[in-house]
Amino acid sequence: MISYSRVTNKDIEDIIECYEKYLNNGEPVRQSIRAAFARNGYLGYKAMDGDESVGYFTFQDGFSLTCPNALYEKEMLQAIGEMRYVTVDALMVNDEYRKMGIANQLAVRNLAMLREHGIDCFVVEIWVYPDGSAPAQNVYEKMGNVIYRKHAYGFYQDSEQYGIGCPICGKKCKCSALLEVIRLGEKV
Ligand SMILES: CC(C)(COP(=O)(O)OP(=O)(O)OC[C@H]1O[C@@H](n2cnc3c(N)ncnc32)[C@H](O)[C@@H]1OP(=O)(O)O)[C@@H](O)C(=O)NCCC(=O)NCCS
Ligand SMILES: [Zn+2]
């Protein structure tokens, strides 16, 4: 049976290991996760099968994009206005445990947690694979109303220059990102 609990600083190394396997790899990834925990700005849920972690859905305080982009940042912050927000750090489920509803379960718990923290909305960079699929889009969009959406083609073309690699493409990343701000809804 899968159990769900909040992430703590004991999870840092495991989160980094999964992040580098399933999302992006490189020193900036490790630094950003460690720094967020150090300033008490990392929150989210993990899914466990016994002693083994099988999924994470986490957030960081403040605004961050994998590849900095002043234009998108300005537009997204404008959409956010005075609202309190966090940014999605990771959503990843162990490949042997996918399509079992784990991401949805993590989302339900995060929605309650974000509300308890007085958060109004979140920033998310949804990964669009080279084939155009975006497997996580449903999970995020069910958490509320999309108040900003832009498909950023070629978003990761400079990721190599930031020391970031893609688990699908390697150094020259052909993926793109759907940049969204989602205002929290009442329920998933
Ligand atoms: C995306 C990911 C987290 C989904 O986790 P999961 O536990 O398999 O998802 P769930 O079983 O809870 O399904 C959640 C929803 O997404 C849909 N979904 C799941 N995998 C999908 C896929 N490959 N393509 C399209 N939709 C998909 C499900 O149909 C479901 O939709 P519904 O709620 O409308 O029925 C998982 O595939 C993963 O870790 N992928 C690699 C990392 C990644 O892409 N992370 C997202 C970064 S933005
Ligand atoms: Zn890629």
Relative to the alpha carbon of 156, which ligand is closest?
A: 2
Query: Cα 121 to the chain's mean position, in Å?
Result: 13
Pocket test for ligand 1, best of 19, 98, 164 (most atoms within 8 A of CB): 98
Q: What is the DSSP string of 133-187?
A: --TTHHHHHTTEEEEEEEEETTTTTTGGGGT-BBTTTBTS---EEEEEEEEE-S-
Q: For residue range 69-112, list pLDDT tens digits in order.
A: 999 999 999 999 999 999 999 999 999 999 999 999 999 999 99
- pLDDT higher than threshold 80 for residue 138: yes
Ligand 1 nearest-atom number relative to CA 92: 39
Residue with tokens 């925990």: 37
Most distant pair of Cα atoms in the chain: their distance? 45
Residue 30 CA to residue 181 CA, distance in Å, equals: 24
Residue in 122, 1, 119 with CA at minimum distance from that of residue 52: 1
* All residues at 6 or more sequence positions from 186 whose CB lies less than 8 Å from its CB, including other chains: none
- pLDDT higher than threshold 80 for residue 55: yes
CB distance 147 to 181 below 8 Å: yes
Please provide the size of the chain in residues.
188
Domain annotation for the chain: domains and CATH numbers: 2-184 (3.40.630.30)
pLDDT band for position 187 (50/70/90)?
low
What value does the mean pLDDT of the chain take? Answer: 95
Relative to the alpha carbon of 166, which ligand is closest?
A: 2
For ligand 1, atom 12, the nearest C-alpha belongs to 101
Q: For residue range 114-136, list pLDDT tens digits in order.
A: 999 999 999 999 999 999 999 99
Pocket of ligand 1 (CB under 6 A): 22-23, 91-93, 98-104, 126-127, 133, 135-136, 138-139
